[in-house]
Structure formats: structure tokens, C-alpha cells
Amino acid sequence: MNGTRIIIPEVRRVIDFPLKVGESPTWDDRTGDLWLVDILAPAAIRLRADGRVDRFDMPVKIGCLALCESDDVAVALENGVHLMNPRTGALKLFCDPDDGRPDSRLNDGKVGPDGCFWIGTRDEAIPQTGNARLYRVMPDGSFATIIEGNMMTSNGLAWSPDGRTMYHSDSSGLFAQVFDFDPETGATGAPRRLHDFTPEEGRPDGAAMDADGFYWIAGQQGSRLNRLSPEGGVIEAYMMPAKGPSMPCFGGPDLGTIYVTTLSTDNNGVFEHGTVLAFETGIRGTPVHRFAI
């Protein structure tokens, strides 16, 4: 906490309907739409630039989504990665890297500078056993396991503006780490611990990267977004009017608006529905990569 600047931004609510577990906000720079998922609904949701809302109900839990070069949307479901037609909602199985492993489901994911869809899993065992993984899904449908073992909830994926550092967190392990990254080949170096989170800072959840190279990560159950320097210090904490912020993303025409999904939770004895929040800080984000299919 030493040296952390506490900021209370002017936050507005973006939607007027409740979410169970809001996650994976993703700005579409081609259309001005904001995509997100509700993991337990389960559904993918599009907030159109003109105010309309499209809801695509899913057959099983959805962990995250990614925009594709083809304008399809890749959705990471409990039973594999599917391609969704955003006009019809039709789903087509693309691949299933987790292959029905027990006590596991696809969770947080994001497209990297290499054009691949990086997707982590959550260990669903009670208590957790450390079986979470991180997969790299290639545009041809093949995939590779990047992290295996000693991880409980893969989360927090983001890349530095130059694409040479990959950020990642373990929400249940309460830490963030970084990897050297080759944006051409997707090769990663050995992990380096970036930050261990205190209860006050919250559980490290979904994340985004700003244009200055600072890592924004949701402080789940801490009512905040933590802005970390490349060296790992929490330089700023943006306080949210919700206990359970789950993931930020940058959007708007100049990537100057921060959107934050939240989940339903108990807030000091009062039940709080999940929602989508937005605010501005004068800080811009980095463009979202698209799955190269």
C-alpha cells in the first residue's frame, strides 16, 4: 500500500439489467460495440453503440470471448472453444483444449499480439487442487499447454504495448506474474513474480493494459481496480461503487473510457447484482488484438 494513490472516479452504470457473473468486457473498434459475458447465465452480451442490447444464450458456462478478424466471435465454453456468428448466434465447435477434464472449465482469455487466443482454466474442485492450465489456441485449431500445475485460477491476461511482455494472474493464488513474450512466435520465457496481493487490494481478477505500459487488474472483493507499474508496484487504486469488480477494458473512440464488469456478491450484508460500470481518467488503453481467423 505504500505509495498507492487512492482515486475515487466519477463512475456511471452502463446497463439497467442484472448480471450474475459479468466478465470479459471487450471493445469492438470496428463497430463501437461493447461485448461481455455472464458466466453463470450463461450468455454472451453485446451492448451496441446505438443502445440496443443483444443477448446470446449459451448451452453451458461461458468463461470469456474474443473478437475475430472474420467478424465471428470466439467463445470459450465449458465444452470447448466455439465460433459464434454474431448475426444468428449459431455456434460451431472450433477446438476443445481442456478435453472435458474433471473439475475444470475454461475461464479468462484474451488474444495476444501473435493472433492466438490465450485461454486459462479455473480449478473447480473443492478445495482447489492446483489443476488449472493456460492454453494457447492457434488459428488453425491446434493448441498448446503453456502452464500446467501449481495454479488454481488462471486470469489477468494482458500484454505490454510493445507486445514483448505477457501479464498473467492466479486469482486464487493471489499473485500476478510476467513472462518475456515474442509477439511474432508467441514464445514465452520463464515466469517472474510481479506482485502479491493483500486482502485490501482484493483478489487479482481480469486485467487490461494502458498505452503507457501500466497493468490494470480488478481487485475482486476489494471494490477497486489496481494500476500496477511494469515493476509491480500498485501506484494507483481506483475505488469502485461495487464490491466485486471482475475485469476492466478500454473502449470508446479514443480508447479513453474504462469499462468494468462486476459480479453479484454480498456487500456488507447487502446483496449486490453484477453490472457494467464506466469512467474516464484521461488515460488511454491499448488496442484489442483479434483472433487471426
pLDDT in tens, 11-33: 999 999 999 999 999 999 999 99
Residue 257 confidence class, pLDDT cut points 50, 70, 90: very high
Which residue, among 66, 78, 86, has the nearest Cα to 39 in the 3D structure? 78
Number of H helices, E strands in the chain: 0, 27
Q: Which domains, and CATH codes, for the chain?
A: 5-280 (2.120.10.30)
What pLDDT score does 266 carry?
86
- Note the pLDDT tens digit of each residue in 119-133: 999 999 999 999 999
Residue 1 clears pLDDT 80, i.e. is over it:
no
Give the active site residue among 28, 108, 205, 210: 205
Amino acid at 130: G
**Count of all residues that appear for the chain in the document:** 293
124, 132 Cβ separation under 8 angstroms? no
251, 283 Cβ separation under 8 angstroms? no
What pLDDT score does 192 carry?
97
- Note the pLDDT tens digit of each residue in 21-80: 999 999 999 999 999 999 999 999 999 999 999 999 999 999 999 999 999 999 999 999
- Note the pLDDT tens digit of each residue in 220-254: 999 999 999 999 999 999 999 999 999 999 999 99
Spatial distance between the Cα atoms of 77 and 221, rounded to a whole number of angstroms: 25
CB-based burial label for 239 (10 Å; 0-12, 13-18, 19+): middle
Neighbours of 134 (CB within 10 A): 26
Give the residues across from 178 on adjacent strands.
167, 192
- Note the pLDDT tens digit of each residue in 157-208: 999 999 999 999 999 999 999 999 999 999 999 999 999 999 999 999 999 9
What pLDDT score does 268 carry?
79
Residue 2 clears pLDDT 80, i.e. is over it:
no
Q: Is 50 a catalytic residue?
A: no
Residue 270 confidence class, pLDDT cut points 50, 70, 90: confident
Residue 149 clears pLDDT 90, i.e. is over it:
no
Q: Going by C-beta distance under 8 Å and a sequence separation of 6 or more, which residues neighbour residue 78?
A: 60, 61, 62, 63, 105, 106
Q: Going by C-beta distance under 8 Å and a sequence separation of 6 or more, which residues neighbour residue 198?
A: 1
